[in-house]
Structure 1
């Protein structure tokens, strides 16, 4: 389980965000803080893997909390900023502080779920790597090509979007047969799109073992 600390000055908002985290497979809320000082204290005592950090806090702002966390060399923790702050200077400061993402309130569950799923997928990938190639590094740091990737011959953007939506709807992944059923495509067509997403680093393959026979390929969206 990925352990999450939720930091927000509004008790109800913190409760809602905690509920979003709890609804996401593989994540659990280990603590909730409503002030910057409590956030720093709980990071030290609970050692979460991820902090969902508000900017507007009653004692010190979230950027100061972020700077303090980065100054603590022995307390490595990843941070996603969740805030109503939209000024560019705040966004720039958060980026310089090494946050993974910046979500602007209000947002739907799906927005946070996608970021959590992306976070989990990257951690799984890094845990498996002995060394990282450029494609791996680009994925971790959110690298994008200078222009949209060209689809292979025979694939269309409209159908690719359809398959992408199907993948995004199933955080635990789906097989080519399941994708075909969801999208009303032929299984062979669904698999071509799924394999394209794997090739371009937007999905990964896991093997699902049944009772007998060969394991089935399970495709999981990486949240990019």
Structure 2
């Protein structure tokens, strides 16, 4: 049985990308796309999706307000927040309102696939069970570690996310340019960039100048791996 998904995103092109990503993942089907918070609430009531991919920045009410209204009405639909919003208050609000995951744009196909797979396993863990065992309960609450959670000692998740955000929108940066964008030292930026290169999150291109060592330039890999 496939799980129905509602995409809530006001940018048509971004919504189209999210839709295509979901359609590539076995066990999920798209039920519709909503571009406002009010439309999202109406579509959730009408379509009864299993999962909502919810943007925070919507033209009428915020995604976090949509989530609060759902929970206030007793609707426990699964929600994955997908947004460029990185403010700590927004992240805390989404977690407090019961979001299953929080995914920062831009992201690769594998990032979404990982979280949808975790949601599917949690969704199916208690199906048909009146008195689940501890292993079943753990499947509901456990989150699979992502690449960003498996950082080498001395690297922080917060800075890692900032480095990835600096590479958003197709940017190609040197370690020095990334350091300036994030507000860290060039050496630190190089450590994060090289880590993401080692786990295939970032592609590296050598820029050969007129003299000296070639400059290493970094960019996010696309869903196709390039």
> What TM-score range do you get, normalising by the shorter chain?
0.5 to 0.7
2:69 alignment partner in structure 1: 68
2:90 alignment partner in structure 1: 90
Rounded to whole Å, the distance in 2 between the matches of 1:87 and 1:39 is 23
* Deviation at residue 76 of structure 1 after TM alignment: 3.1
Structure 2 runs not aligned, ≥5 long: 145-149, 151-226
1:142 alignment partner in structure 2: 142
Count how many residue pairs are aligned between Structure 1 and Structure 2: 144
Rounded to whole Å, the distance in 2 between the matches of 1:66 and 1:2 is 19
Describe how 1:157-176 pairs up with structure 2 within 5 A. Answer: none
Which secondary structure state, in structure 1, belongs to the residue aligned with residue 81 of structure 2? strand
2:112 alignment partner in structure 1: 112
Rounded to whole Å, the distance in 2 between the matches of 1:52 and 1:12 is 15
1:50 alignment partner in structure 2: 51
1:216 alignment partner in structure 2: none
Cα gap change, 1:139/1:124 in structure 2, threshold over 3 Å: closer, same or farther?
A: closer
Contact 2:9-2:35 within 8 A present in 1 as well: yes
1:81 counterpart = 2:81? yes
1:42-64 per-position Cα deviation (integer Å, ceiling 9, x unaligned): 00111111000000001110011
1:38 alignment partner in structure 2: 39
Query: Normalising by the residue count of structure 2, what TM-score does the alignment of the two structures yield?
Result: 0.60
Rounded to whole Å, the distance in 2 between the matches of 1:136 and 1:88 is 31
Rounded to whole Å, the distance in 2 between the matches of 1:57 and 1:11 is 12
Structure 1 runs not aligned, ≥5 long: 149-224
Which secondary structure state, in structure 1, belongs to the residue aligned with residue 127 of structure 2? helix
1:23 alignment partner in structure 2: 24
1:4 alignment partner in structure 2: 5
* Deviation at residue 128 of structure 1 after TM alignment: 4.5
Rounded to whole Å, the distance in 2 between the matches of 1:131 and 1:52 is 30
Which secondary structure state, in structure 2, belongs to the residue aligned with residue 86 of structure 1? coil
Which secondary structure state, in structure 2, belongs to the residue aligned with residue 81 of structure 1? strand
Rounded to whole Å, the distance in 2 between the matches of 1:142 and 1:89 is 23
Rounded to whole Å, the distance in 2 between the matches of 1:31 and 1:72 is 21
Cα gap change, 1:8/1:45 in structure 2, threshold over 3 Å: closer, same or farther?
A: same
